[in-house]
Structure 1
Amino acid sequence: MDLDHALGSHAVAGEMPLNATADPTADLETALAHASRLMASDPALAGEQAAEIIKTVGEHPMAVLLLGVSHRLRGDPERALESLRPLAARQPNWALAHYELGQALIRARRGIEASAALQRAVKLDPGLPKAWLTLGDHLMAMDDVEGADSAYANHIRHSTRDPQMLQAATALVENRLPEAESRLRERLKQAPTDVAAIRMLAEVAARLGRNEDAESLLARCLQLAPGFHAARQNYALVLHRSNKPAQALTEVESLLADDPGNAGYLNLKAVVLCRIGDYDTAIELYAAILEAHPDHPRIWMSFGHALKTAGQQQRAIDAYRRSLALDPGCGEVWWSLANLKTVRFSATDLAAMRAELAKTGVHDEDRQHLEFAIGKALEDEADYEASFRHYLEGNRLRHKTLRYDADETSSRVQRIRQSYTREFFEQRAGWGAQAPDPIFVVGLPRAGSTLIEQILSSHSAVEGTMELPEVTSITRELRAQGDPNGTMPYHDVVHALDDAALRALGQRYLDHTRIQRRTDAPFFIDKMPNNFLHLGLIHLMLPNARIIDARRHPLACCFSGFKQHFARGQSFTYDLDDIGRYYRDYVALMAHFDAVLPGRVHRVIYEHMIEDTEGEVRRLLAYCGLPFEPGCLRFFENERPVRTASSEQVRKPIYREGVDHWRHYEPWLGPLKAALGPVLDAYPEVPAGMAGENQRH
């Protein structure tokens, strides 16, 4: 889609001044073609020739385009826009004009307008591979990974002339993944070193959730073509998604060595740094990106997320507000403000959110976030009935996008209880890696785990990290060993592991989480709440790790989860019946482990922590084998990064007012109460029948 192609093919013999021939039309085309070909080697001279053409024949569209491109290539995007803006307005259906306008807007740091121009270009002419590639790079720089992936797929589709590859690329763009995979595998049988086909097959694998396959394919692609930067960017992204931040950073640094100012690469580096807790560096990177590209709303949002986690609340609010000024319909930013838990929306804010929600064509994801944010605004106004209606609608919208099955969770829990017996653990006593470093905090989200982490990390011997995904990564790999499709439980594989294998898993956990640790404290916290489902594995591979169960009143905990729009996971929280059943299964499973591993898990009842903070803190530290330190009672002075929804709440002293806040919504919690059953009445104890059932296992 270069300018020569747009002009057509013309033979150009030297510099031919306009009107030097008897055929003015041929003369004009020749002059335009010559200016176009000069652009790569001498954009200034090309611009001069374009200007001469305009003086002679008026504002010929191609001459105006060439003049604008010349200014852009000479580093003057504002002068380029002086030519290209009116040109695109006069030529609304000329794809090339909108493409070049998009290029100039990118250089002028006007990202939203650039996106619109590039989208217009590819809509007018989908067969423009360079426009798709530019759009993909731009969307990646704006942190729109999904949009970038689609644009890159279209770039592949429209840059190939091979019928077999074209069919595969078309299937990929249209998300017909089995067909795309079949065609690409057939292609690679014929041409095993076709790096474009390998990269496309990796994209198919990534979309299907087969990250290990995607990794292997991209590694092979880069082995064959080390300079294939688009593949390396894909590789870094897949490594990041696979919880391999160190390897991801290596690939990003390689990309930046070649193109240090690439906003997409810098953004990806910032994202990975946030994953490993290096927020100071990530904040610097986001600030640098925004200095160069100040109108990228998603980058402002990511900047806000990093600032919030680092405890810089006012700067986070300012970043979120800047994002909304650029894109007032972005529901995720409105929810991010609400999710600070300390921001009270003004009447103007509420009216703005309602106006966005009332618009036609609002994306479901934005609608979900807006419903939750409006629910929070109305909750702060004590309009609880209206607040609940919005929370309910937000949950309904989110729930319909998920595939959560409460029966499946109950079966899974029953399977665990049957698999991990007292005798099973006794036979494996002393196995696994003996290091005592990790302290696991488990339970349900919104049960007080962040408070426990903040208290413990205020001790001189303990470092707080985050909700580490490492145990989940290990279980995923174990599941794949027993079932290549990764759909069966992993527990049968665990039963077949010997001491050496379990010790290796424990050591792997310690090695892979090392990147999260910033101090030389001997202990660190992993507060992934859902790890309660993996306590059997945790005990076997790390028998000396501490395990703390954070428990909160079932109605308080469950409703707090129900009104929380989680960034990812926790798919059981978007229906009152689902979350009630999940809480009940959790209590049953923890009662089972209390029976088969007596004293192994220390339980912290949230309400007890509120009523007798010092007593509970002393008992907690004693369980961890740590001496009491007064700083643990002043946890709110701890300035470490906090990466959960409770980040601002744990930066304040404990207060009792929130304990019974759920009672404002009690009239509408009937389905939740029914799902909880006897667990609700027995709290904080375990229903007698449930405990007895565990004893029989």
Structure 2
Amino acid sequence: MNRPDQLWMAGEQALARKDLQTAERSYRAALAIDPSHAPALLGLSTVLLWLGRHRDGHDAGMAAFRVRPPVAPILYAIAQRLAYFHESESLAGCLQDPAFAAGAPADIIAKAAVMLSSAGAHEQATTLVEEGLRRRPSDAACLHVRGNFHFFRGELDAAEKCYEASLRSDPLLYQNSMMLAGLRPASPEHNQVDRFTAQLDRARPGGNGEIYLSFALHKQLHELRRFDEAWTALERGCAAKRRQVEYSTAQDVALVETIESVCDAAFVGATSGVAQPVVPIFIIGMHRSGTTLLERMLSGHSQVADAGETYAFHAEMELATDRSSAKGPDVGLVTAARSADFDRVASGYARRARWMSRGRPFITEKLPHNFLNVGFIAKALPQARFLHLQRDPTDTCFSNLRQLFSGVALYSYDQRELADFYLLYRRTMAHWQKVLPGRVLEIPYDSLVQDPSGTAGRVAAHCGLRFEDSMVDITRSSGTVSTASANIARQGFQRNRGQAWRDYAAHLQPLIDGLAPAYAAPAAP
């Protein structure tokens, strides 16, 4: 082992015992001898993040990317760090190295393909997972991921074959069962209730399998109109998931209060003058409020690229405030934003937007939680457009309750917490209407599904686009919809999706009572 490797190993040992100062010294000593030692750069990045030096940690991670050696495990470690910093373009470049596909095991290839898909590099992700299956055709993880990619493209028969093959390879990979439940509506003649029930009996209590299967069983029973049984399954799944997540309504109350304090009219009105290569269109609202339908509408326009649900803007806020906040804005980040350099935010976002736009002059950004960032976005990107989807409060919240999310919407597994969050969201949107009048176009969900052409015309005008007939054809086969609403979006504008909660009204009193203020007070105009 050469001297840089010895120093790097010493740094790893110090890091394992959380001796951060010793770890930093060891990594820097290794880099003094060999500045291109990628593992030492990654270790240094980790130490700096733990020390609260987010920008320096980012710089070390990017340095590791620039010197990346063609060694599969190191390339994957660098890609993981790039994903943490939401550096999508560099992530795609890192995993494009032929050495990664040639040397990584199939299960790591599956994880890398998910990272690429989450970054919007869908074609590259598909190519990579196909390579994993070429080398190991029965790999359960790769089969599951390929099934997801078929599902996102609306190729349901192909998705079903992949999920079934994945389950044959690993009967405990219950994510497949949850995805199978969402492929087609259950009917008395064709359903998987008995299968999911048997799987649930075998799943470990409190584990992910219990959660996946409870939500899958709820969906099938709901479609069969066996509502009491469906509620029992949903309640079980929500309770198991809530035990796994850490969430505090009080923290979100403090966050919204801080946003209101920092983002007054004077603060958000002092905007950046940094030119942007594209016009971002931010689609905001609660999860399950119709944002995917609206994104699908806009992405039908010849001038618009759909970037998906990216954390690109939030990543620039983390850099500008020198704070890590992996789950989105928090009180510390918002407070630090008072003195942040918003020209830096704008310049960094411009770099990311060039890659996301794929050469088109407009992009959609559809991360629902960006409703918390509206003031900061308006300040950094004065040319940005905002579209706010509003759906009936109980419809929205019940749809959240029924949806198993991946790492987001932690408030959605308890009725009271869900109602409280909804009210905080409404309060935040009312604040933006007050300090940014005219910037946010409010779009009622009912208008979107009942009058798509008229809504598309209003949306196009607000965004500075000319209406195109293709905007209304959301059932088109082109494009990738990589959210839980993928199948629904491809079914077109449906007018009968509301009021599903009424079949469960006897069980939903905490939610109904909690949402009462949302009906007493008018929505933001």
> What TM-score does the superposition give when structure 2 sets the normalisation length?
0.86
Give, as a single letter, the amino acid of the residue that structure 1 aligns with 2:347. Q
Which residue is equivalent to 1:320? 163
1:623 paired residue number? 462
RMSD: 3.7
Counterpart of 2:432 in structure 1 is 593
Residue 201 (structure 2) pairs with residue 358 (structure 1): yes
Among 512, 515, 521, the residue aligned to 2:355: 515
8 A contact 2:64–2:78 mirrored in 1: no
Matches within 5 A, 1:451-600: 451-480=293-322, 488-497=331-340, 501-518=341-358, 520-600=359-439
Match in the other structure for 1:291: 134
Task: Indicate conservation of the 8 Å contact 1:372/1:563, yes or no.
Answer: yes
Q: Secondary structure at the match of 1:550?
A: strand
> 2:72 touches 2:104 (CA, 8 Å); kept in 1?
no
**Structure 1 pair 184/251, CA: closer, same or farther in 2 (3 Å)?**
same
In structure 1, distance between residues paired with 2:304 and 2:39: 48
Unpaired stretches in structure 1, ≥5 consecutive residues: 1-161, 692-697
- Aligned counterparts of 2:462 and 2:68: Cα–Cα separation in 1: 54
Unaligned runs of 5+ in 2: 1-5
Range that drifts further, 402-411 or 239-248: 239-248
Contact 1:301–1:333 (8 Å) recurs in 2 = yes
Quote the Cα distance in structure 2 between the aligned partners of 1:633 and 1:581. Answer: 34
- Confirm whether residue 670 of structure 1 aligns to residue 509 of structure 2: yes
Q: Determine if contact 1:311/1:639 at 8 Å carries over to the other structure.
A: no
Distance 1:532 1:600 in 2: 13
Partner amino acid for 2:255? R
Alpha-carbon distance between aligned partners in 1 of 2:350 and 2:11, rounded to the nearest angstrom: 46
Report how many residues are paired.
515
Q: Is the 8 A contact 1:249 1:269 kept in 2?
A: no
Q: Does 1 or 2 have the higher relative contact order (CA < 8 Å, sep 6+)? A: 2
Establish whether residue 440 from structure 1 lines up as the match of residue 278 from structure 2.
no
Deviation at 1:551, TM superposition (A): 1.0
Structure 1: how far apart are the matches of 2:51 and 2:513? 36
How far apart, in 2, do the equivalents of 1:663 and 1:507 lie? 48
Distance 1:594-1:340 versus aligned 2 partners, 3 A rule: farther
How far is the alpha carbon of 1:466 from its aligned partner? 0.4
Offset from partner CA, 1:125-166 (integer Å, 9 cap, x none): xxxxxxxxxxxxxxxxxxxxxxxxxxxxxxxxxxxxx9x979
Letter in 2 for 1:290: L
Range 299-308 or range 438-447, more displaced: 299-308
Query: Cα–Cα, structure 1 residues 249 and 344, in superposed 2: closer, same or farther, change >3 Å?
Result: farther
8 A Cα contact 2:163 2:176, kept in partner: yes
Conserved? CA contact 1:270–1:286, under 8 Å: yes
8 Å contact from structure 1 (residues 453, 464) kept in 2: yes
Q: What's the secondary structure of 1:636's corresponding residue?
A: coil
Q: How does 1:18-29 map to 2 (within 5 A)?
A: none
- Decide whether aligned partners of structure 1 residues 199 and 463 sit closer, same or farther in structure 2, where only a CA change above 3 A counts: closer
CA displacement 1:44-93 (0-9 Å, x = unmatched): xxxxxxxxxxxxxxxxxxxxxxxxxxxxxxxxxxxxxxxxxxxxxxxxxx
One-letter code of the match for 1:680?
Y
The answer to whether the 8 A contact 1:338-1:373 is kept is: yes
TM-score by length of 1: 0.66
Find the residue that maps to 1:603 and give its secondary structure. Answer: strand
**Structure 2 counterpart of 1:301, from 103, 119, 144:** 144
C-alpha change, 1:436 and 1:245, in structure 2 (3 Å) is: closer
- The farther-off stretch of 446-455 and 257-266 is 257-266
Offset at residue 643 of structure 1 (A):
1.2
1:336 equivalent in structure 2: 179
How much does 1:225 deviate?
9.5
Aligned counterpart, 1:234: 77
Deviation at 1:399, TM superposition (A): 1.4
CA gap of 1:629–1:217, structure 2 versus 1, over 3 A, is: closer
User: CA 1:659/1:208 → structure 2, altered by over 3 Å: closer, same or farther?
Assistant: farther
Note closer, same or farther for the CA distance 1:506–1:222 as it changes in structure 2 (3 Å cut).
Answer: closer
